[in-house]
Chain A
Amino acid sequence: MPSESSEAAQEIIECRDVHKWFGSFHVLRGVNLTIRKGEVVVICGPSGSGKSTFIRTINRLEEHQKGTIVVDGIELTHDLRNIHAVQREIGMVFQQFNLFPHLKVIDNVTLAPIWVRRWSKDRALKTAEELLKRVGIPEQAQKYPGQLSGGQQQRLAIARALAMQPKIMLFDEPTSALDPEMIKEVLDVMVELARSGITMIVVTHEMGFAKQVADRIYFFDDGNIVEHNTPEEFFRNPREERTKKFLSQILTH
């Protein structure tokens, strides 16, 4: 877990006063957030709190209407070049996997590197094979996503995102759609990823994972961050009422 290393770790994501409306519904209400390079951040909160919408504004799957978002020194504006640059540097793993069903497992991983980073087919294949090994499904390379189990599919999704060698990985409730017996295999991959030093933002309810590898936990409610802390402090001494209420609801088992 990267802590204060030799130099001050630089900020890689900076969000200031971010607002977003869906029609007249104010879903993000002035979010302020700073994430340093290599940090592993967990965002939790009740459904409808806007946490998914928030991480989607970071890679421009949703457009924020007010405030600034700076990713790795690039500000997210209406500038097409900026948007594409940011999207190349961020990898995302979805709750519903969203794998490309018409492509083989290996092709799912090589698609973006070949067409976006313009790698040669050999280089892309080599990287893809390594990644499949890293997430634990090297033998599935020639199959189609539909033939894999849920846990394997999500691990493939992680490999696909990693293929672009992103600086930041976003996870939108990666285990919520999985059967319980498959959650562990995906979390294991995510833990290994966290320990490898990549910057991660994970929206999840899996508090065990948070305790294990998170540097900070953010509690999101009603369109904004209510409180944030290190995992130990967060679970031991929640400050706000809402946080206490939320924790009591999800920690009953």
Chain B
Amino acid sequence: MGDQTEVLMPPRVEVGVLGWLKKNLFSPWYNALLTVVSVGFVVFVGRVILLWVFRSARWEVVTTNLKVFMIGRYPAAEAWRVLVSLGVVVLLAGLTWAFRKAKDSPIRRWLVLAWIVSFPVIGILLRGFGEDNPFLPKVSAEVWSGLLLTLVLAIVGIVASFPLGVLLALGRRSRLPVVKVLCTIYIEAIRGVPLISVLFMSQLMLPLFLPPQIRLATVMRALTGITLFSAAYTAENIRGGLAAVPIGQYEAAQAVGLNKALMMILVILPQALRNVIPAIVGQFISLFKDTTLVVIVGLLELLGIAKAVTGQRQFIGLHQEVYFFVAVLFFICCYLMSHGSRRLEKALGVGER
């Protein structure tokens, strides 16, 4: 044959942009119809939304109230404390991410310590001392609101619910019938009722069962409810992780002489928890969204503050703009967290082992 073979190119319509269009949008006839309908739909909805966003919406309600959305009724003069707290968190997060590969370095132990210490430190920083203290005047937790309160509720909630969740998970898997039954009752009862009823219980009912002298701040009551609620779901996640640890690990730990407690702490739990980190992160994202429910018991986190803003005299009734803004804020936060969680899952899967 000749040394000049003719290379046949595929038909123009099959490749490149045209090809992609044809394959994905138009190939069977009903697809073409769907595409046309969908395009019409997108154009219609898009027009309505864009027109509203850029023409008729009055965004001043958001821009003038930005600070209110972020920190609510926290006194503006003390806002620097919020910024500092945020800075600390960002710094610690950055350091943790930077050192994520260094498995042996002593830095990791310091980081864990730093995280643990940061909680009370930030708490004190935000709350301050007595009224007349020159540096950190008291800003009672009752006044914390807006996104600040959302973050406080979500973060403290997930952190506090974790140890309780571990205990509940271990209890539910216990071979002692009494422990197992009681833990199961708690978990199933909590999971069978809405969060709002648990919040209601902690808000209104809990104070009635405490000694008359003790009065809990509203935020503390809400936090209790959130923690009790989240612990049940965390327990189920951890239970799944525990079930995934092969029974041979229990046997090997016993055979080498570890007692029950040491076995759990040194061998079983580290493996179980590693399995469920993605689920725990998912739980945090849910919790983050669920903090909006405290509106119903009277706390003003981000959504609550937003609702209050629509009552401002010059901005009465601008619900669309305000709730759209809140929705966008939540969307950005949650989407980023989900994305981070997926990357975390990948990293863990590929990690050592």
Contacts and interface: CB of A to CB of B under 8 A. Distances in A.
Q: A and B touching (C-beta < 8 Å)?
A: yes
B254 A61 contact: yes
The residue in A88, A98, A99 that gathers the most chain B C-beta atoms within 10 A of its C-beta is A98
B353 A98 contact: no
Given A115-B262, A146-B352, A99 B252 contact: yes
Contacts of A98: 246, 248-249, 251-252
Given A102-B271, A115-B266, A87 B254 contact: yes
B267 interface: yes
Contacts of A91: 255-256
Contact of B257 (A94, A100, A101, A112): A112
A90 B258 contact: no
B274 interface: yes
A61 B274 contact: no
Contact of A111 (B254, B256, B259): B256
B256 A112 contact: yes
Interface residues of B, number: 20
A13 B353 CA distance: 38
Given A88-B257, A144-B353, A164-B257, A111 B266 contact: yes
Given A98-B251, A115-B262, A146-B352, A161 B270 contact: no
Given A100-B267, A102-B270, A111-B266, A87 B257 contact: yes
Given A101-B353, A111-B258, A146-B353, 16 more contacts: A59-B255, A92-B256, A94-B248, A94-B251, A98-B252, A100-B252, A102-B270, A102-B271, A111-B256, A112-B256, A115-B258, A115-B266, A117-B257, A144-B352, A146-B352, A160-B256
Shortest 8 CB-CB contacts between residues of A and residues of B: A98-B252, A98-B248, A92-B255, A112-B256, A116-B257, A146-B353, A88-B257, A102-B270
Interface of B: 246, 248-249, 251-259, 262, 266-267, 270-271, 274, 352-353
